[in-house]
Amino acid sequence: MHKPAITQVAIDTTIAARWSGRAYDAKKSVSHAQLIALLEAARWAPSCFGDEPWRFVVWNKASSPEAWQQAFDCLVPGNQAWVIDAPVLLLTCADTLFGHNQKPNRFAQYDTGAAAENLCLQAANMGLMAHQMGGFDADLAREKFNIPAQYTAMAMISVGYPADISTLSGDTLARETAARTRKPLAQLFFDASWGQGVKDVI
């Protein structure tokens, strides 16, 4: 299903095409070269002091089915309902300390969000669909996968080929077919002073 962003002026087609769908094709796996492309995209995100504070764990159902299942078990039931068909899961983590001086990095989560977005865009570029989720048990993931305390678990991401929406039902289907929405530009983006919304393109 394609649900491109509706914008006042044309934007990058990959950014417009990316969206967080739920219908995955359980029969199509993601190749190792595709995985590396996803990670290369994340790797080349910008970061404060070039710290690259992101760490991602990747679980590929095809090569590591047991570990994939353990990662899946960390998700809340509402996400498990549709993630079950996704061949790849990831967990993004942010390094709380700068590498060069071991002091707190206040940009760690911000920069990790950028890297994750690059990954999602690269997925869209390759005809894959990536969906980030905050709905998982971060403590359980830390315990299962021995994530050091220095790293904050941020989001899980499902990746795979999109399937026909007929594979979904109920609430998940309703969310899949609902129109994508965003707040008006002027509510989020201000011109020269806080609260003064930018003017639309006429």
Minimum distance from CB of 84 to its own copies (Å)? 19
Rank residues 44 and 169 by Cβ distance to its own copies and give the closer one.
Answer: 44
Q: Does 183 bind its own copies (CB under 8 A)?
A: yes
Tell me which of 86, 88, 120, 128 binds its own copies, using CB under 8 A: 120
DSSP 13-75: HHHHH------B-TT----HHHHHHHHHHHHTS--GGG---EEEEEEETTT-HHHHHHHHTTB
**According to CB under 8 A, which one of 22, 24, 30, 37 is a site residue for its own copies?**
37
Amino acid symbol at 146 = N
**Residues 24, 59, 136, 161: which binds its own copies (CB under 8 A)?**
59
18 vs 2: CA distance, rounded Å: 9
* Residue 101 touching its own copies (CB under 8 A): no
The residue count for binding its own copies (CB under 8 A) is 81
Q: How far is the CB of 153 from its own copies (least distance, A)?
A: 10
CA distance 136 to 38: 22
Residue 35 near its own copies by CB under 8 A: yes
